[in-house]
Amino acid sequence: MNETVDQGPLRTPPGRLFRKYLYSIVALAFAALAINTGFDVWFSYREQKQLLAATQREQAASAAIQIGQFVGQIENQIRWLSRLPPELSTNEDERLNAIRLLRLSPAIAEIAEIDPRGRERVRVSRRVADKVGSNVDLSASPAFRGANESRAYYGPVYFLGDTEPYMTLATRGIGRHPDVIVADVNLRFIWDLVAGIRVGNTGKAYVVDRMGVLIAHPDPWRALQRSDLSGHADVRAALDGVGPAAGGLVKEDLTGQRVLSTYATVPSLGWLVFVELPLTEAYAPIYASIGRSTFLLVVLLVGAVLVSLFLSRRMTGPIQLLTQGARRIGSGDLGLRLAIRTGDELEALGDQFNRMAAHLRDSYATLERKVIERTSELEKARDHALAEHDAAERARNAAVQANETKSRFLAVVSHELRTPLNGLMGVLQLLDDGNLSEAQRRHLATAAASGETLIALVDAVLEYARLEGSTETLEPRNFRLDQLIDAAAELMRPQAFGKGLTFDLACDASVQASVHGDPVRLNRILLNLIGNAIKFTPSGGIAVNAVAERHDDHILLSIIVRDTGIGIAPDMHERIFEDFVQADDSIARRFGGTGLGLAIAR
């Protein structure tokens, strides 16, 4: 890549864009490598662990098979003594056969033959003198009873003289009334077998009987102690028939060392052969694999950093040239030409940049002329705008004066109309002397109602004129908020009852407060809102709710007036607060009013 400019070098040290590309590429490469390495390590860990557990299970199963074969071989040997029916052999023959069996099988320490009634006929032993025809009653012994019940009896393991393990094995002969052969078997062979099992370099195997008692261990002293392991979770689960976990079980052995353990069951005996390997040795291949993967990750990451440096420089170099070129063009150097030779989109961008600079140079030649022309046009437009502004200001002043005149006119007319109307109302009251007929009284009531309506209209126009003329000023003073609301409600309640409406007032406890404000204007707003509700409600009722929210130095009063009247269309919710506007053109004809009540309240 060859990158130059025709007006001096423009290179700058790598900046944020270079670091951005560098960090992004490195992060992407690291994430990809880390995820790949993580998955590889995880699956390798699982495979290695399962492989180790499978190997240990095979060792445990092999030891269990050998123990089972050892016991099965002795069982077959003592069955040989019971081949001949009892009526075809003598005690002496049975004694000679037992002696031959002791010579053939060193593991058998003592053997006895018991007749079908449980009487001992012959006993040959390596430890004591032989007995022939002792007729000792052994019918209640577990060995005799167990052999008769299941043809074979495997007794618990016991230690003779606390030195070697023994087990009682009994079988039943053949025939209609078979004898029972009972043998005491030395289990030292199992110790030798367990001691000979090689589990890695430091692993070990041991055997537990069906009661959970340790009977064979590479360390004979632990077996002689008859340690009860039934309280261990894995031993308890194995005794309950739960199979070993596929990946083995991590636990602490008898010395407190963490090991990977599995087990196999000895057929027919119910014994358990446990095989354990310390975790440090078991996971050594896994740690080595993790180390190799980590080293490979570091090597690949270093390669990714180098590649990222190369790519970042290749990408940011032309961009830096474009940045510097734009800066020089911005300072007025329109003769700048960039020469970027990358053979990709960056080179095309550099060519576009050069064409842009040429267009800017051509445009700059006519820019001053256009600026002068535009300045002249703006000056003319400014003069015209100033003239229009003066005319608008004069029109505004005229409108203000007209509005003030209108307000004064409304105030004067309203005031002048109120005086004769008050006189008219007085005359109407004087006419009602009690001697009028029913028809005359109706006419007089109609005239009084019309007069009151006219006075209300004149008062509304006069009040609006005061507000519009800004002559209405607030007169704040101290007053009880709840008393003002109750007084307004009591004043309007007779009107509601007169129309057959219900009137409900609900004031929150927060309204019971002394406040400082303008009670006259607040009362006017309440009367206006309640009056509108009564006016536009032909049936049903009105409900007034008042709630006050206390703030630092003021109270926010919320008064809600609900009625069951004609309602207000949604599109009129905002307009009804304008001057002389009502929700419907027919309202003035049906209910009366000028449309100023809500405008005054606002």
pLDDT band at 5 (very low <50, low <70, confident <90, very high): very low
Distance (Å, rounded) from C-alpha 366 to C-alpha 370? 6
- C-alpha to C-alpha distance for 21 and 510, rounded to whole angstroms: 65
CA distance 55 to 271: 20
Cβ burial of 175 (10 Å; 0-12, 13-18, 19+) is middle
Question: Which pLDDT band holds residue 4 (cuts at 50, 70, 90)?
Answer: very low
Average pLDDT value for the chain: 76
Indicate the pLDDT class of residue 589, thresholds 50, 70 and 90.
very low
Categorize the per-residue pLDDT at 3 as very low, low, confident or very high, splitting at 50, 70 and 90: very low
Cα–Cα distance, 395 to 391 (Å, whole number): 6
Q: Which has the minimum average pLDDT: 54-68, 245-259, 346-360, 478-492?
A: 346-360
Band (9; pLDDT cuts 50, 70, 90): very low
Asked whether residue 20 carries a pLDDT value surpassing 70, the answer given is no
Q: In Å, what is the CA distance from 302 to each residue of 27, 308, 309?
A: 12, 10, 11
Q: Collect all residues with Cβ–Cβ distance below 8 Å to 207 and sequence separation of at least 6.
A: 63, 67, 190, 194, 214, 215, 216, 217, 266, 271, 272, 273, 274
Indicate the range of 105-114, 229-238, 344-353 predicted with least confidence: 344-353
* pLDDT value of residue 295: 79
Mean pLDDT across 438-450? 72
Alpha carbon distance 34, 42 (integer Å): 12
- The confidence score (pLDDT) of residue 12 equals 45
Lowest mean pLDDT among 328-342, 481-495, 558-572: 328-342
Pairing of strands 502-507, 541-550: parallel
Q: Residue 435 pLDDT more than 90?
A: no
Our CA dihedral for 392, 393, 395, 397, rounded to 10 degrees, sits at 160
For residue range 199-223, list pLDDT tens digits in order: 777 778 888 888 888 888 877 777 7
Report how far residue 239's alpha carbon sits from residue 244's, in angstroms, rounded to the nearest whole number. Answer: 11
Structure tokens at 555: 């109270």
Position 597 scores a pLDDT of: 65
64-71: average pLDDT: 82
145 exposure class (CB count in 10 Å sphere: 0-12, 13-18, 19+): middle
Residue 442 contacts residue 432 (beta carbons within 8 Å): no
**Residue 541: predicted pLDDT:** 92
Q: What is the pLDDT at residue 504?
A: 92
> Residue 484: is its pLDDT beyond 80?
yes
For residue range 268-327, what is the model confidence (pLDDT) as tens digits? 788 888 888 887 877 777 777 777 777 777 877 777 777 777 766 666 666 666 776 667
Q: Long-range pairs for 95-103 at CB < 8 Å and ≥24 separation?
A: 95/122, 95/124, 95/130, 95/132, 98/122, 98/124, 99/124, 101/77, 102/126
Predicted TM-score (pTM) of this structure: 0.43
Lowest mean pLDDT among 43-57, 470-484, 549-563: 43-57
Element (DSSP H or E) covering residue 132? strand 131-132
Q: Which one-letter amino acid corresponds to residue 340? A: I
CB atoms within 10 A of CB 245: 14
Grade residue 329 by pLDDT with cuts at 50, 70 and 90.
Answer: low
